[in-house]
Amino acid sequence: MAESSQALLNPPPGTEPALPLLLRPLMLRGLALRNRIVVSPMATYSAVDGMASDFHLVHLGRFALGGAGLVMTEATAVSEKGRITPGCLGLWQDAQIAPFRRLIDFLHEHGAAAGIQLCHSGAKGAGQRPWHGGGPLGEADLAARGEKPWPLVAATSEAFDSGFQTPTALDEAGMAGLIAAYCAAARRAEAAGFDVLELHCAHGYLLHGFLSPLGNRREDDYGGSLENRMRFPLRVAQALRQAWPAARPMFVRISAIDGVDLGWSLADSVGFARALKQIGIDLVDCSTGGMRVPRERSLPARTPGFQVPFASGVRAEAGIATMAVGLIRDPGQAEAILQAGSADLIALGREMLFDPNWAARATVALAGEAGWNAWPQAFGWWLQRRARLDRPKASE
């Protein structure tokens, strides 16, 4: 970040009016974020053998140039058999560290913090990329692209949907092995230089499959009651919190509800968030959905900010910081969410794809002329002058 941008975000006391909340720095443990704007994890399914490439460097690097405070990678598999598709990123081997380090160095050089979301697909793995159909891998995929399915594990031995592979239900040994894989991936993430670690417990993947009664039919200590269904995800989260450096924050992404009055509920999310807070988790990232539900019980209408009430509810009831995500498009809307106390961070996904400079544009929209100091000087200098030329001239 340019020195002038640092001055914008940290003005000497009494010299500048208070910045909008969206633009204020935020401390999380030992990490200082330059603003409250986060690039949400967005799957691109563009890795080869789990390796980040020049595509990921350019794709994610542009968000740092565009002013985001925290840039999250897409879901990153902790084991080769934990991928969602053959194109998923991974951190199951040391060779995958260096490409991430190159990416992180770029993000840091341009003022953004770097976050990684660790994931295991569970019953939703061994799938096609969305543009290849989004179903399970089969003979046609092998013939066309050399992509074949791999064995899956999950909370229970039930296929995610019709035509999907039937996974093996995890036993104690399998759970212990996965906890070790998560922790090994976390140590690689530390070596790569990531600032934030997020554990994926949402969208129907492995850990959500344990949490939700729609995905967990177990009859042992890991099924039935809410306490039992939370047991394995909490074991993973606690092991990761212990493996991850104490000075670096850790998030957990949840699906706050499965559907309307069905499956995992907001009350369940609050209970889970309270337990996460007790083991040192710093923030809950509140999304929704991912399980198969009847159409009439599907999620509320996808209107702007439709998931904000869940972030607000978890924040208020569990007393933990939250991140709001989902159809947040306008800087004023994002600022209003923070001002209302509904969340501590604002995450954007598709809106960032549409406009990688969203954060820098929001800075100008909310902070006025001084907001141009948050743009990289190499092109902000020119664009500021362009904006001045575009202003309506006063009538003579």
Residues taking part in catalysis: 205
Residue 114 pairs in a beta bridge with 71
Distance CA 84, CA 255 (A): 17
Distance CA 374, CA 8 (A): 7
Distance CA 286, CA 279 (A): 18
CB 168 within 8 A of CB 153: yes
CB 23 within 8 A of CB 363: yes
Report which secondary-structure segment, H or E, holds 251: strand 250-255
Nearest by Cα to 67 from 16, 22, 105, 20: 22
Q: Give the count of alpha carbons within 13 A of 281, CB side only.
A: 32
- Amino acid letter, 184: A
Nearest by Cα to 28 from 351, 345, 357, 309: 345
Q: CB neighbours (10 Å) of residue 13?
A: 5
Distance CA 19, CA 10 (A): 9
Nearest by Cα to 5 from 83, 80, 68: 68
Packing angle, helices 172-192 and 226-243, rounded to 10: 40
CB 343 within 8 A of CB 354: no
Q: Give the count of alpha carbons within 13 A of 103, CB side only.
A: 29
Instruction: Name the token pair of 201.
Output: 């417990």
